[in-house]
Structure 1
Amino acid sequence: MVGVLGTGTMGDAMGDAMVRNIAAAGLGLRAWNRNRAAAEPLAALGAVVCDTPAEACRGADVVLTALLNEKVVADVMDQAHDGLGGRQVWVQTCTVFPDGRRGLAEQAARVSLAYVEAPLRGTKDPAVAGTLTIMAASPQQEVREEVRPVLEAVGIRTVWLDEVGQPSSLKLAYNAWVLATVEGIAESLTLADALGVDPRLVIDVIDGSGLSSPYVRTKGPKMIDDDLDTPSFPLDAAAKDAGLITDTARAACLHLGIAEVVPGRLRRAADDGLGRADVAATYRMSRQAAA
């Protein structure tokens, strides 16, 4: 039995898709969401939709949190306290700052939960397809085996690391590349347009180079067509991760270049009403600056 806390707070369709894949795997599901109406459709898949976090955790072998940030995760797990006990494993999927990683692990230890840190690589479409990559850590082999069916239900690959903290560090390093790529595409397209060159030719030229990728081929045309309001990775979530990247780098005495600029651009885009759009909506900010 899996108790899921949060069925839509990691970016709408992404959280919902993960929960649906757990239900489809026949693992048994109890689900809670702050907005119960968002979780109600899961009942048709056999899930027990619960009114409180504690109710969702009661009787679950694995508790999975799919929530927005460290503070929300900690608060919801406090609310779940009365439903926790026995031999349970907590799988925590939110990407958090180093201090947050330690704090959540300590919170798990206080209530005798085995703790698996497991941030995810992927966006809406991989979540729907069940092809996410999971970066996970637990020093206990038996715990890894216990959560394996759950991780296999939502992902196609699990990268196991030795220590709690390493998965979020790896996820932040990966997201630094993602955000630099998005910003790079946006600025290249904006520059071409300002110089009187069809931006689609930029994508065409990149496509014939060693730097081509499905990400460029997908995001570039969506930017040009302004097809950015349905998010695969919401800009608000990207802005949160961008801030974590710079904070973590500074804590490690690093001063990164592109990563220092991206959070400000994303925050300005969010302040401009684009927080619920795709992260690629940063292109709109580039175009405004060029106007």
Structure 2
Amino acid sequence: MTASSPKIALLGTGTMGAGMTRSLLRAGLPVTVWNRTVEKARPLADDGATVAESAADAVREADVVITMLFDADSVESVIGDVADAIGDAVWLQSSTIGPDGTARLARLADERGLTFVDGPVLGTKGPAEQGKLVMLVSGPADAIDRAQPALDAMGSRTMRLGDEPGRASALKIVANAFIGTLTAAIAQSVALAESLGLDPADFTGALAGGASDSPYVQVKGKAMIEGTTEDAQFQLDGVLKDLRLARGTAEQQGVTLSLLDGAVEAYDRASGDGHGSEDMAGVVAAFRPAG
């Protein structure tokens, strides 16, 4: 750590927030964390983080405040309560909330005199823990520059998408619409192979190394086939939330919704059957025959 290392406050220590915290600490940045359920944040003290009892305590001395919460309502509630304590810090908003949610929070920042950067991330639990996320950012260039040490610690690269907040969140929705739909398509083929009496591993094996292959085909396909969806890299209910955001955005833009409608239906059905806290690969349950 150097004298110029920015002090980081990270609000929200769920799966992604905890991994991001550890990556920041590995880079030598001082980090204070807060979580609504403080017990979930306390293990990060063993990694070197300071655990704050309140969000206001977490942000008071920070140079960069990162929010990694579930939705726009959660972020708005927390930041609304602590805005006066944030002061001149850069607010790096990393929760997935879509363009409309980002517009809401940008207005809040303007009203409260906060420096706002739209900063969602691409990646799941593993990349968050490894500091290999793709950092998507849009906002004032000087504010992004101030947050760059944190961005570098958490990500393998940073994509700057302009000065206008919302562009980064728009790209995040585009990417997650693809990821969620792709995983549902893998699940459908796994279930179809099973129903035909095939070894579903032959499906993923047939694609391996070819033009249609991807890491998701192999990793998510394996989890579906082996039934190891309890270890959530990207929680199914989180994907469902993001796909609903994508569907709403697509509808506003007049984009045909056929695939998004089907994907939302599948994840919703799997969540309703009790798989919401599992990895997104648990969507395979929506495609398997009932009973």
TM-score (normalizing by structure 1): 0.94
In structure 2, the residue matched to 1:4 is: 10
More deviation in 274-283 or 255-264? 255-264
Shift, 1:47, TM fit: 2.4
2:7 is equivalent to residue 40 of structure 1: no
Q: Map Cα deviations across residues 173-209 of structure 1 (whole Å, 9 max, x no partner).
A: 1111111211111111111222222211111111142
Give the alignment of 1:124-139 within 5 angstroms.
124-138=125-139
Q: Which moved more, 1:37-46 or 1:100-109?
A: 37-46
1:1-291 counterparts in 2 under 5 A? 1-8=7-14, 12=15, 14-85=16-87, 87-138=88-139, 140-162=140-162, 163-289=164-290
* Contact 1:192-1:198 within 8 A present in 2 as well: yes
Report the AA paired with residue 58 of structure 1: R
Note closer, same or farther for the CA distance 1:81–1:208 as it changes in structure 2 (3 Å cut): closer
Distance, in Å, in 2 between the alignment partners of 1:278 and 1:43 is: 26
Provide the C-alpha distance between the structure 2 equivalents of 1:81 and 1:101, rounded to a whole number of angstroms.
16
Distance 1:229 1:288, change over 3 A: farther
Amino acid at match of 2:43: P
The aligned amino acid for 2:198 is V
CA distance in 2, matches of 1:166, 1:173: 11
- Counterpart amino acid of residue 150 in structure 2: V
Aligned residues: 284
Look up the equivalent residue of 1:50 and give its one-letter code: A
Hey, what does 2:4 align to over in structure 1?
A: none
Give yes or no for contact 1:52–1:80 (8 Å, CA) kept in 2: no
- The one-letter amino acid of 2:154's match is V
Whether contact under 8 Å (1:84, 1:111) holds in the other structure is no
For structure 1, which segment, 162-171 or 21-30, has the greater mean C-alpha deviation from structure 2 after superposition?
A: 21-30
Once the two structures are TM-superposed, the CA of residue 77 in structure 1 deviates from its matched residue by 0.4
* SS, match of residue 41 in structure 2: helix
Q: Tell me the secondary structure at the aligned position of residue 80 of structure 1.
A: helix
Q: For 1:56, give the aligned amino acid.
A: A
Q: Which sits farther off after the overlay, 55-64 or 251-260? A: 251-260
Structure 2: 5+ residue stretches without partners: 1-6
| Alpha-carbon shift at residue 93 of structure 1 (Å) | 0.5
Give deviations 1:123-174, integer Å, cap 9, x for gaps.
0111111100011101x32212110000111111111101211111111111
Q: State, as a whole percentage, how many aligned pairs show the same letter.
A: 37
Structure 1 stretches of 4+ with a deviation exceeding 4 A read: none
What CA distance in whole angstroms lies between the structure 1 residues aligned with 2:11 and 2:61? Answer: 14
- Aligned amino acid, residue 133 of structure 1: V
Unpaired runs of 5+ residues, structure 1, are none
Distance 1:209 1:260 in 2: 29
Cα displacement string for residues 95-134 of structure 1 (whole angstroms, at most 9, x for unaligned residues)? 2232211110111122222111111110011111110001
For 2:277 and 2:205, the matched residues in 1 are separated by 29
- Name the Cα RMSD after superposition: 1.4
